[in-house]
């Protein structure tokens, strides 16, 4: 009987741990950026330490895929969850090669991503759509 209880406890713990590992954070995945100066990209967001980072994995111009020198560059930097599908970190804008304080808000298959200056008083936002 004791072996049965111990085996059941291990199975329950393994099930909980397995389910937790299978659940991805809402920001994880592949996202399509909003067009910026006629170009857009696919960005893969994955854990990086305690936060999330996004790397440009594919680029498109005039709806055709092309090999941008930005492929492999990190565009979302250290986005830490703040609760309720919201995140804070930094974002890089390829069009002007500047890094901004950033914030993101994920809801379903859409993400609003903002780059801000002046302590968050002036922000420019984009809406990204989940690809995967």
pLDDT tens by residue, 45-100? 999 999 999 999 999 998 899 999 999 999 999 999 999 999 999 999 888 899 99
- Output the pLDDT for position 112: 96
- Output the pLDDT for position 118: 77
Residue 20 within a domain = no
Residue 39 within a domain = yes
Q: Which domain holds residue 67?
A: 26-130
Domain count for the chain: 1
CA distances from 54 to 31, 46, 48, 63, 78 (A): 9, 6, 9, 21, 9
Specify the pTM.
Answer: 0.79
- Output the pLDDT for position 116: 86
Residue 99 within a domain = yes
Mean pLDDT of the chain: 84
**Which DSSP state fits 36?**
B
- The confidence band for 15, taking pLDDT boundaries of 50, 70 and 90, is very low
Residue 89 within a domain = yes
């Amino acid at each position: 009987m004791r072996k049965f209880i111990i085996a059941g406890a291990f199975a329950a713990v393994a099930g909980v741990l397995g389910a937790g590992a299978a659940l991805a954070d809402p920001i994880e995945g592949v996202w399509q950026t909003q067009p910026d100066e006629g170009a857009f990209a696919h960005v893969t967001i994955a854990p990086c330490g305690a936060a999330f980072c996004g790397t440009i994995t594919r680029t498109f111009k005039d709806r055709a895929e092309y090999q941008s020198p930005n492929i492999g560059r990190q565009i979302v930097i250290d986005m830490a969850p703040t609760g309720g599908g919201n995140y804070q970190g930094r974002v890089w804008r390829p069009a002007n090669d500047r890094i901004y304080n950033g914030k993101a808000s994920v809801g379903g298959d859409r993400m609003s991503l903002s780059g801000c200056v002046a302590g968050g008083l002036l922000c420019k936002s984009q809406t990204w759509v989940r690809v995967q």
